[in-house]
A and B are shown apart, each in its own frame.
Chain A
């Protein structure tokens, strides 16, 4: 059984300039112990999806219009705030992009790492301190006992992200949501942090949702991937299949536009146009105006995400019809 099953999630923001459909009918499942990648460009709705699951959407202007998110018998979108609080930071943890702003500068690292233990498990200060020191050591920070007494500004970017991971994992969650965990870091440090997340995942047997705009990060770490665009999922597949044989023109175009996919000096492939304005209701496929394979039918109705090969779903009408 799936650990988390999201069905038809819609999160809209009601602004003065109209209704922004940030997430518009997203369904996916996360199996225990697997790593699911959510990839998309800015504004595609990947972070809003994660925030919706944990009840972190500011309301108003945001509103969850529809959907269900089953997590161990609980619908995360409909449960009470108390029920959600019991899950958040305990059974589902989240780490954020920017470890500079996600840590509280006025609290010692130790106080922040022990907070989930003390709140959720009612541990004593001393017991929590011991666990926190062990945790900090296992995420690769030396002199953990001493480090717990320091404030975040004494930590480098990579170390802050390690401390965030320690904080997220100290309650041994079943699911970790990592929202662009390495975007603010240097490549060599990024490699260390991704390896750390993988190692901790194996040690704790948890599932991970990794949200990123970096296709390379997905390729190296995820079992399955969903590709988001304009608040919808356009493709969903095992990572290998998605990169080896993408089955949506958007994914194909995205992969084709990477410098690494080109002979040096050759003009880079570019996707014409711009992502759609989400405050205007989209008729048909959201990628149709920029798609090289567009036909008349693409502009009418809304293409559903349908399985086109084993475990490989695409929301492209032409792929579904076997034309592409």
Chain B
């Protein structure tokens, strides 16, 4: 078996955008994910950060083959997911799970907590009808929900409790890889801390490989071993969490970090200001995707797509203005 649980090789997910009622030729192509290569080791937590529209959720959907890649390969435990038959893929699905952002939308309002958590086991034949209640209550205990809540419906739970149900459901089939897409952004600060602790604890207990997608760098830093920063479909920087946080290489990462409002009134300095909004992926700029907003851009940045440059071991960024280090 491969050393990596998940390996992405130059993955591209492009969507054609058609104009008009009659479906004609695509007017343009949205390159939601455009040449992403990543590797996740067993038990590793990778944080993926970026602003809305940068393609981080599409990347998650691509890994799970919910939005199949239009180029490149997704290897899960050494097997090319794109080359598998639908049946073979279905057999692998239990090992790949996802936790979604909005626990209000991701749970079926007509299913009780028991139904929601037992459903994956039923579909994949992982537990018989008589085993299910015991398995569900064990899972609920794992995520900190009392078994007496089993017969309750989603509307009877708070946001934090709903996210616990979603987590229990994701863990029901003992996955190897869990992708959590903004798992705490819909929750209040005090509840957020509870869910983050839970994710950290469950990740360790179950030896999960975790991909944590968030726009909140503080959240990502707290849980991740490594961080990848995405901008307009491309990874622009990747490295050890502390390295990315303490010595960000890419000007986008630097701006992103400085834009996080600090709760320390003494440290709340002026953020590195970026001009304008993130560009539309329908009409990406030529050259470096970040150059129109970059405070240190040069004419060359508008022409050349920068390659990854390693500044230190395992810390790389795609920017023309950084030099290779030792």
Q: Which residues of A come within 8 Å of B, CB atoms? A: 41-42, 156-159, 186-192, 194-195, 213-217, 219-220, 239-240, 243-244, 253-255, 257-262, 264-265, 267-271, 274
Contact = CB atoms under 8 A, between A and B. Distances in A.
Contacts of A268: 193-194, 196-197, 222
B259 interface: yes
A278 B164 CA distance: 23
A244 B221 CA distance: 23
Contacts of B193: 257-259, 268-271
Interface stretch (B33-41, B74-82, B114-122, B268-276): B268-276
The CB with the most chain A CB atoms within 10 A, among B158, B215, B264, is that of B264
B52 A192 contact: no
A243 B190 CA distance: 16
B242 A188 contact: no
A206 B263 CA distance: 25
A190 B259 contact: yes
B210 to A, nearest CB: 13
B197 A216 contact: no
A243 B267 CA distance: 12
A195 B275 CA distance: 13
A257 B217 CA distance: 15
A253 B190 contact: yes
Contacts of A262: 222
Nearest to A220: B268
Given A259-B193, A259-B218, A216 B259 contact: no
6 smallest beta-carbon distances between A and B, as pairs:
A216-B261, A186-B51, A268-B193, A220-B268, A41-B188, A257-B193
Secondary structure of the A contact surface, majority rule: helix
B261 A220 contact: yes
Given A253-B190, A265-B222, A268-B193, A260 B255 contact: no
A271 B277 contact: no
A189 B262 contact: no
Given A186-B52, A257-B193, A240 B222 contact: no
A188 B274 contact: yes
16 contacts: A42-B188, A157-B52, A157-B277, A187-B260, A191-B259, A214-B261, A216-B268, A219-B265, A220-B262, A243-B264, A253-B190, A254-B190, A257-B192, A259-B196, A265-B223, A267-B200
A211 to B, nearest CB: 14
Contact of B189 (A215, A239, A267): A215
Nearest to B159: A42
Given A187-B256, A188-B51, A270-B190, A216 B274 contact: no
Given A187-B259, A192-B274, A214-B261, A41 B197 contact: no
Given A157-B52, A216-B260, A257-B190, 7 more contacts: A186-B52, A188-B255, A258-B218, A259-B196, A264-B222, A264-B241, A264-B242
